[in-house]
Amino acid sequence: MNIAKLISDAVHSYNEQVGDNLVGFRNSYSGRGMYGRECVGITGPLGDCRKVIAMVINDAYDNTGDVDHEEELLAPEFDFRGLVDSLMDWEQDSMGRSDMVLYWSDIKPMEPGVEQFYEHEQCPDCGEDIPTGTASGEQCRNCGHVFVEQVGNDGAPAS
Ligand SMILES: [Zn+2]
């Protein structure tokens, strides 16, 4: 089960719902006292960040025990209460005037996916940010572009 991916998905759904990029996902945030160690966080107005957390909990609840779920995010033995406890135990710093960063020092960043092969990690067709950890073959949420691993002629990732 990948909590980082649940959070990242919720951030995207929330922004879609409100029609604005109010909340950002940080795959490699290093908070105070973490000495450069990286963890997952979200940024934005506190109220919106809290709504994203509620969304993660709701999504997790909906998918608990659903082995047929497309991405099989959550196994039947998934510890839902444990997830809620972890999620509610965020730390926060202020960022700029009204934004906060909420982060979870125990939630590890996701492994990078195919987004690393794209310039600015954005969809080449519509410019939408490609979520961290996107697998080869997944589609752009915005325009349906299929992302693939790209390797240039010299064996280096194409830009
Ligand atoms: Zn696109």
Same domain, 138 and 159: yes
Q: Per-residue pLDDT averaged across 112-138, rounded?
A: 91
Angle between helices 80-88 and 46-63 (to 10 degrees): 170
Provide the pLDDT for residue 66: 54
Residue 153 has pLDDT above 80, yes or no: no
Same domain, 82 and 119: no
Top-confidence residue, 86 or 70: 86
Q: CA 57 to CA 60: how far, in whole Å?
A: 5
Q: CA 4 to CA 6: how far, in whole Å?
A: 5
Same domain, 135 and 95: no
Same domain, 92 and 123: no
Same domain, 93 and 133: no
CA of 29 to the centre of ligand 1 (A): 26
- In contact, 109 and 39? CB cutoff 8 Å: yes
CA of 55 to the centre of ligand 1 (A): 24
User: Domain range spanning residue 139?
Assistant: 111-159
pLDDT-based confidence at residue 99 (cuts at 50, 70, 90): very high
CA of 105 to the centre of ligand 1 (A): 32
Cα 55–Cα 48–Cα 111 angle in degrees, nearest 5: 60
Strand partners of residue 29: 39
Same domain, 25 and 97: yes
- In contact, 113 and 121? CB cutoff 8 Å: no
CA of 92 to the centre of ligand 1 (A): 32
CA of 138 to the centre of ligand 1 (A): 11
Provide the pLDDT for residue 33: 83
Q: CA 88 to CA 26: how far, in whole Å?
A: 17
Q: Per-residue pLDDT averaged across 133-146, rounded?
A: 92
Same domain, 116 and 136: yes
Instruction: Output the average pLDDT for the chain.
Output: 86
Lowest model confidence (mean pLDDT) among 72-76, 94-98, 120-124, 148-152 = 72-76
CA of 109 to the centre of ligand 1 (A): 24
Top-confidence residue, 97 or 154: 97
CA of 18 to the centre of ligand 1 (A): 19
